[in-house]
């Protein structure tokens, strides 16, 4: 019997977080998404109705907190903290007081750090039993994005922890500037696809179903979620962009750790606990799939800063690749600090480990 909880994603509603800096097109994206027929059974969580500009889609106010839109979606403003809002939504859905929904979209404010929202979804016992994090989608202004990344740590962090990056306003951006921004985003977050987004028109299928657990997909999506192969090989000379001290994202590093031999969970757990205790503020995001001794299938780990989702045992490997793979996105922490611990827990298997600084 596995030591870890089995994947129960089919029992939990997927939640996607839509973030991005001020004016980068989050509201335009939401307006376009909610016109897609397949999004009619969605719930949208926002800060204020007046701020998001969805008024032309409103049909019926339920109370001061929720409205139903022409598309059939439910729109809910945050009252109190996010946890309470989500619990009220789920309770009212279960009582039949609001339209049924099978996914939730959360829009952050432009200056918000999305990490606390992700942490709430990863490991809050009051809601994580009912909800699962699907995707973090970040909009980036194709015209102003380069300057925003230079000047605002919030913009840089929003891009660094995304599962999907959407470049907006490309019709207004010079081609060379857009190309430079795309390249910078790819360096900042190698694992996130960078997609063009014109007037918010992106097929929902390109954005959602990005998490490690998706019962609606025929094949396990964990490999696409992890994207460890997107990171450069060790010592490949891809570190030059980190030395531009005039850029906030010069402090962002990415590293992928790989082991071809099974690992001991006690060793991995102690190492991750020590990293969280000493460097939690620097762990922007951690994703991994592990081959552990005594486990028939892979075990998925996922964390943001010091908060980690409980390890989940999958019923089968997503493909023939049985190697353990861990991806770290770090801020103000040298990749060597993470790599050193990995080498220690893999010390008896000298041919089994490698690391990939980005």
Q: Is it the case that residue 136 has pLDDT exceeding 80?
A: yes
What CATH number is associated with residue 345?
3.30.1220.10
Using pLDDT thresholds of 50, 70 and 90, give the confidence band for residue 214.
low
Using pLDDT thresholds of 50, 70 and 90, give the confidence band for residue 241.
very low
Final residue belonging to a domain, choices 182, 207, 232: 207
Q: Is it the case that residue 237 has pLDDT exceeding 50?
A: no
| pLDDT, position 59 | 59
Question: Quick one: average pLDDT of 248-275?
Answer: 90
Q: Is it the case that residue 290 has pLDDT exceeding 90?
A: yes
- How many structural domains does the chain have? 2
Which of 215 and 106 is assigned the larger pLDDT?
A: 106
195 and 65, same structural domain?
Answer: yes
236 and 147, same structural domain?
Answer: no
232 alpha carbon, distance to own chain's centre: 20
| pLDDT, position 31 | 83
Question: Quick one: average pLDDT of 217-230?
Answer: 75
Residues 6 or more apart whose Cβ sits within 8 Å of residue 240: none
- Please report, for residues 2, 178, 182, the alpha-carbon distance to residue 57 in angstroms, rounded to integers and kept in the order given: 48, 32, 32
Using pLDDT thresholds of 50, 70 and 90, give the confidence band for residue 215.
low
Q: How far apart are CA 324 and CA 260, in angstroms?
A: 6
What percentage of the chain exceeds 90 in pLDDT?
A: 54
Query: b/e for 171-183, b at 16 or more Cβ within 10 A?
Result: eebeeeebeebbe
Q: Which H/E stretch holds residue 304?
A: strand 299-304
Mean pLDDT of the chain: 85
Using pLDDT thresholds of 50, 70 and 90, give the confidence band for residue 210.
confident
Q: How far apart are CA 255 and CA 160, in angstroms?
A: 13
Is 212 domain-assigned? no
Question: Quick one: average pLDDT of 53-73?
Answer: 68
Is 215 domain-assigned? no
Is 24 domain-assigned? yes
Q: Is it the case that residue 164 has pLDDT exceeding 90?
A: yes
Is 200 domain-assigned? yes
Which of 246 and 108 is assigned the larger pLDDT?
A: 108
35 and 104, same structural domain?
Answer: yes
| pLDDT, position 235 | 47
Final residue belonging to a domain, choices 207, 231, 246: 207
Question: Quick one: average pLDDT of 54-79?
Answer: 72
| pLDDT, position 358 | 42
| pLDDT, position 355 | 43
125 and 262, same structural domain?
Answer: no
Lowest mean pLDDT among 165-179, 199-213, 338-352: 338-352
Can you say whether residue 130 is alpha, beta or left, with left for phi > 0 and alpha for psi between -120 and 50 degrees? alpha
| pLDDT, position 195 | 95
What is the pTM for the complete model shown?
A: 0.88
Contact by Cβ (8 Å): 161, 114: yes
337 and 285, same structural domain?
Answer: yes
pLDDT tens-place string over residues 14-43: 999 999 999 999 988 988 888 888 888 999
- Residue-number span of the structural domain to which 315 is assigned: 222-357
| pLDDT, position 124 | 92
66-69/58-61 β-pairing: antiparallel
| pLDDT, position 50 | 54
Final residue belonging to a domain, choices 207, 242, 257: 207
């Amino acid at each position: 019997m596995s030591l870890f909880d089995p994947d129960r994603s089919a029992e939990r509603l997927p939640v996607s977080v839509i973030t991005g800096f001020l004016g980068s097109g989050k509201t335009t994206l939401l307006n376009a998404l909610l016109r897609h027929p397949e999004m009619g059974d969605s719930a949208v969580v926002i800060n204020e109705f007046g701020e998001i500009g969805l008024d032309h889609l409103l049909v019926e106010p339920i109370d001061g907190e929720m409205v139903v839109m022409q598309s059939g979606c439910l729109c809910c403003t945050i009252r109190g903290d996010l946890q309470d809002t989500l619990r009220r939504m789920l309770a009212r859905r279960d009582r039949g007081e609001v339209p049924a929904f099978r996914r939730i979209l959360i829009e952050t404010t432009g200056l918000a750090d999305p990490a606390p929202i992700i942490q709430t979804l990863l490991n809050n016992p009051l809601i994580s039993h009912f909800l699962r994090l699907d995707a973090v989608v970040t909009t980036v202004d194709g015209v102003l994005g380069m300057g925003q990344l230079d000047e605002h740590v919030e913009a840089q962090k929003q891009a660094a922890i995304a599962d999907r990056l959407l470049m907006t306003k490309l019709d207004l951006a010079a081609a060379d500037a857009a190309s430079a921004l795309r390249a910078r985003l790819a360096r900042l977050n190698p694992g996130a696809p960078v997609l063009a987004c014109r007037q918010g028109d992106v097929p929902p299928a390109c954005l959602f179903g990005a998490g490690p657990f998706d019962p609606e997909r025929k094949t396990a999506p964990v490999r696409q979620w992890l994207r460890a192969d997107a990171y450069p090989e060790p010592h490949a000379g891809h570190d030059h962009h980190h030395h531009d001290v005039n850029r906030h994202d010069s402090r962002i590093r990415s590293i992928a750790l790989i082991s071809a031999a099974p690992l001991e969970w006690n060793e991995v757990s102690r190492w991750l606990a020590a990293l969280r205790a000493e460097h939690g503020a620097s762990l922007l995001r951690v994703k991994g799939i592990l081959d552990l001794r005594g486990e028939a299938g892979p075990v998925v780990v996922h964390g943001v800063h010091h908060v980690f989702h409980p390890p989940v045992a999958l019923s089968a490997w997503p493909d023939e690749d049985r190697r353990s793979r861990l991806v770290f996105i770090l801020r103000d922490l040298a990749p060597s600090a993470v790599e050193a611990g990995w080498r220690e827990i893999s010390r008896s298997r000298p041919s089994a480990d490698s690391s990939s600084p980005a």
